[in-house]
Amino acid sequence: AQSVTQLGSHVSVSEGALVLLRCNYSSSVPPYLFWYVQYPNQGLQLLLKYTSAATLVKGINGFEAEFKKSETSFHLTKPSAHMSDAAEYFCAVTRNSGNTPLVFGKGTRLSVIA
Amino acid sequence: EAGVAQSPRYKIIEKRQSVAFWCNPISGHATLYWYQQILGQGPKLLIQFQNNGVVDDSQLPKDRFSAERLKGVDSTLKIQPAKLEDSAVYLCASSAGPGVTKNIQYFGAGTRLSVL
């Protein structure tokens, strides 16, 4: 079975500050890992994905995440927060055999303070 | 390229009524998913289709929920009769298929259901 734990249901940062959203996964098989962002009243948009190539993954809007097998983590970071980054962020895991459903964490709401 | 289309965007019904949601995936995508997202939680899979066949419906409450994808393209999810706890956003997603580059799920905007 696979699962994802996102630490912190709500994170608040100042504009220009570092963004760090935490995700730990559990998987009995090699995983694929994803970060999605959800803006109010919209669907989920893919930020970035880890699919067993490079452990440091760069995504859209300046976000990146590092896969750390020893820590079973896939934390999302951005050096400098923008007001437009305020949204809900979801970490998700699936099996690396492909074409399988995503298992999502509960999400972290990011607020950016001017 | 057009994205995943869902309708309606919003629906309000009373308990014990029936409701249907429609999804049109990205053209050429063989795999279609329906997820349920309850307020404050992450999406959870209801059902997965590969073309017009069901791959996984283990988490679908079959006593009230049904889904079909008759021609392997668009899909309909139905709830009959609805309960208060069915209030959620219903998300449809599609992917091109297995493989590193293909196994990316693209999501529609969702249908927000309120059951009163």
A13-69 pLDDT per residue, tens = 999 999 999 999 998 888 889 999 999 888 899 999 998 778 899 999 999 999 999
Q: What local confidence, expressed as pLDDT, does residue B97 receive?
A: 66
Would you say how long chain A is, in residues?
114
B98 touches chain A (CB under 8 A): yes
Share in percent of chain B as helix, strand, coil (round to 5) = 5, 45, 50
pLDDT band (50, 70, 90) for residue A99: confident
The band of B101, judged by pLDDT with boundaries at 50, 70 and 90, is: low
A101 vs B4, B33, B40: nearest CB: B33
Contact A107 B41 (CB under 8 A): yes
Q: Does B53 touch chain A (CB under 8 A)?
A: no
pLDDT of residue A40: 86
Separation of alpha carbons B44 and A107, rounded Å: 12
Q: CB B107 to CB A45 under 8 A? A: yes
Here the tokens at position A64 are 């990146």
Is A102 in Cβ contact with B45 (below 8 Å)? Answer: yes
Q: Report the residue of chain A nearest B59, measured CA to CA.
A: A101
pLDDT, tens digit, 9 for 90 and up, residues B4-37 = 999 999 999 999 999 999 999 999 898 999 999 9
Predicted confidence (pLDDT) at residue A97 exceeds the cutoff of 80: no
Question: In chain B, what residues touch A45 (CB-CB under 8 Å)?
Answer: 107
Interface A:B, Cβ pairs < 8 A: 65
Of A42, A99, A106, the CB nearest to B97: A99
- Alpha-carbon distance B32 to B92, whole Å? 7
A101 upstream amide cis, omega within 30 of 0: no
C-alpha pair distances (Å), B112 with each of A42, A43, B42, B63: 10, 11, 14, 21
Rounded mean pLDDT of chain A? Answer: 92
Q: Could you give the CA distance from residue A42 to residue B61 in angstroms, rounded to a whole number?
A: 25
Mean pLDDT (whole number) for B55-77: 94
Structure tokens at A14: 């100042």
Q: What percent of chain B has pLDDT over 70?
A: 94
Lowest-confidence pick of A56-65, A75-84, B102-111 = B102-111
> Does the pLDDT at position B1 exceed 80?
no
